[in-house]
């Protein structure tokens, strides 16, 4: 089939965001059906209908601690969104400063390292708060550490780095133990430097090999930088994307700092939702069983995408794509200068892709080569069609440069 023939199909498929499909949300329907029977009294007799417990229901913090591998006192169980916690941690640092430090807003410049391609919403927070973004090349095993170390050692305006250590969005990168040790131990010119450690895909394995997230809290403590990591995670793509529970884990000092500032913002989280989640998710083993059911739904989608790309793009010079072992995304690389055009052509053929450049600070992919593909939400047959349309769009975009 040619690109023009494909266009005649008049499709409309959205491949933009990494949302769970309705069938995945159905897996946690019990959270809704059994809301009444979960009641409102916690294990310790807390009336979850009422205000209070700023850092979360104790048993939810304990479950968070079991899932994240840190002591319960160092875990905050919050609302439904970890992105919200990342935003607030940065906003608090800007307004009030981190423990023992000056408010960042008083500095002439605040900068963040941004491994690329990365998560567009991380970059949107930096843009909204006026934080300068410095792109860091992503390698096979995590950010280019020689670059990172040189930057943080000499530039005190660099206050942090975004890290998605397991199955990174959108490259699927798994940080190596060496990269993690170097991030934990590297000397930084800014005394209040932080790792914004977004463990969003900690539970989201696409293969039977369940890679473990590195224990960054312990690694930093061992390196003498106990306050360096802010770990973020959530149950968004475990239970309900709009109604899960989010966690923040860090040193006792950072948790105390968080408590001080969050106390102004809220009287406490939704403990009823936390109670329902404790009863439904229960423990690490039950969560792993639930994630295996997600995997059974997701893996064929990634499989069909890869098979179609293989059939139509394998021999095309300059084109490659990732084979992630977890997470929600595939990165597709096209020859320089062809990513934007591919997105345009795909749109004309009825396939909406994330704008080219979205995975880069300021929306600028310097070589215009990267596309983020999100195969989770559409149905299997839609993905097969969309993958074909994307492949034809890539080929057309390349042919336009070098017509026969």
How far is residue 268's CA from residue 270's CA, in Å, rounded to a whole number?
7
Where does this chain touch ligand PLP (CB under 6 A) — which range of 66-74, 80-88, 217-225, 376-384? Answer: 80-88
The yes or no reply on residue 82 touching ligand PLP (CB under 6 A) is yes
Q: Exactly one of 3, 15, 18, 116 binds ligand PLP (CB under 6 A); which one? A: 18
Question: Residues in contact with ligand PLP, total (CB under 6 A)?
Answer: 12
CB 85 to ligand PLP: min, Å: 8
CB 357 to ligand PLP: min, Å: 17
Q: Exactly one of 164, 173, 250, 254 binds ligand PLP (CB under 6 A); which one? A: 164
Q: Is 209 exposed, middle or buried (0-12, 13-18, 19+ CB in 10 A)?
A: exposed
Find out whether 56 and 77 touch, Cβ atoms under 8 Å.
yes
The yes or no reply on residue 81 touching ligand PLP (CB under 6 A) is yes
- Dig out the tokens for 65 from the structure: 């601690």
User: Measuring CA to CA, how many Å separate 215 from each of 95, 160, 180, 197, 352?
Assistant: 29, 18, 9, 11, 37
Q: Exactly one of 171, 173, 236, 322 binds ligand PLP (CB under 6 A); which one? A: 236
Find out whether 137 and 369 touch, Cβ atoms under 8 Å.
no
**In Å, how far from its chain's centre is CA 53?**
27
The yes or no reply on residue 111 touching ligand PLP (CB under 6 A) is no
Phi-psi region of 39 (alpha: psi -120 to 50; beta: other; left: phi over 0): left
The yes or no reply on residue 234 touching ligand PLP (CB under 6 A) is yes
How far is residue 134's CA from residue 151's CA, in Å, rounded to a whole number?
10
Q: Exactly one of 67, 133, 145, 246 binds ligand PLP (CB under 6 A); which one? A: 246
Where does this chain touch ligand PLP (CB under 6 A) — which range of 24-32, 44-52, 78-86, 277-285? Answer: 78-86
Phi-psi region of 155 (alpha: psi -120 to 50; beta: other; left: phi over 0): beta
The yes or no reply on residue 200 touching ligand PLP (CB under 6 A) is yes
Q: Exactly one of 28, 151, 169, 251 binds ligand PLP (CB under 6 A); which one? A: 169
How far is residue 358's CA from residue 381's CA, in Å, rounded to a whole number?
26
The yes or no reply on residue 239 touching ligand PLP (CB under 6 A) is no
| Pattern 34-63, ligand PLP, x by CB under 6 A | ------------------------------
Span 267-296, contacts to ligand PLP by CB under 6 A: none
CB 374 to ligand PLP: min, Å: 9
How far is residue 105's CA from residue 265's CA, in Å, rounded to a whole number?
19
Which chain residues interact with ligand PLP by CB under 6 A?
Answer: 18, 81-83, 119, 164, 169, 198, 200, 234, 236, 246
């Amino acid at each position: 089939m040619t690109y023009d023939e494909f266009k005649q199909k008049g499709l409309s498929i959205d491949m933009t965001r990494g949302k769970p499909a309705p069938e995945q949300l159905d897996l946690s329907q019990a959270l809704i059906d059994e809301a009444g029977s979960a009641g409102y009294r916690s294990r310790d007799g807390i009336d979850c209908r009422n205000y209070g417990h700023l850092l979360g229901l104790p048993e939810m913090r304990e479950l968070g601690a079991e899932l994240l591998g840190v002591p319960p006192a160092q875990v905050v169980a919050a609302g439904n969104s970890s992105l919200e916690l990342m935003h607030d941690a940065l906003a608090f640092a800007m307004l009030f400063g981190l423990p023992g430090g000056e408010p960042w807003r008083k500095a002439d410049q605040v900068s963040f390292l941004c491994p690329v391609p990365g998560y567009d919403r991380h970059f949107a927070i930096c843009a909204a708060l006026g934080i300068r973004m410095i792109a860091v090349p992503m390698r096979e095993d995590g950010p280019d550490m020689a670059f990172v170390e040189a930057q943080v050692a000499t530039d005190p305006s660099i206050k942090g780095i975004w890290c998605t250590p397991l199955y990174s969005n959108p490259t699927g990168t798994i940080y190596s133990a060496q990269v993690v040790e170097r991030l934990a131990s590297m000397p930084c010119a800014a005394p209040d430097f932080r790792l914004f450690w977004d463990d969003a895909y900690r539970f989201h394995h696409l293969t039977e090999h369940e890679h473990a997230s590195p224990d960054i809290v312990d690694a930093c403590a061992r390196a003498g930088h106990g306050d360096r990591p802010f770990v973020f995670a959530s149950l968004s793509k475990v239970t309900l994307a709009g109604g899960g529970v989010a966690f923040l884990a860090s040193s006792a000092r950072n948790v105390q700092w968080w408590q001080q500032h969050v106390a102004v913002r809220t009287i406490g989280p939704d403990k009823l939702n936390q109670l329902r989640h404790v009863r439904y998710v229960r423990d690490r083993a039950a969560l792993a069983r639930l994630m295996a059911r997600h995997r059974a739904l997701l893996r064929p989608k990634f499989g069909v995408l890869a098979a179609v790309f293989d059939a139509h793009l394998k021999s095309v010079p300059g084109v490659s794509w990732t084979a992630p072992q977890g997470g929600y995304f595939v990165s597709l690389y096209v020859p320089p200068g062809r990513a934007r055009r591919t997105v345009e052509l795909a749109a004309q053929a009825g396939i909406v892709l994330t704008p080219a450049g979205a995975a880069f600070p300021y929306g600028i992919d310097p070589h215009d080569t990267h596309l983020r593909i999100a195969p989770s939400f559409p149905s299997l047959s839609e993905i097969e069609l969309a993958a074909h349309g994307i492949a034809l769009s890539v080929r057309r975009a390349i042919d336009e440069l070098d017509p026969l």
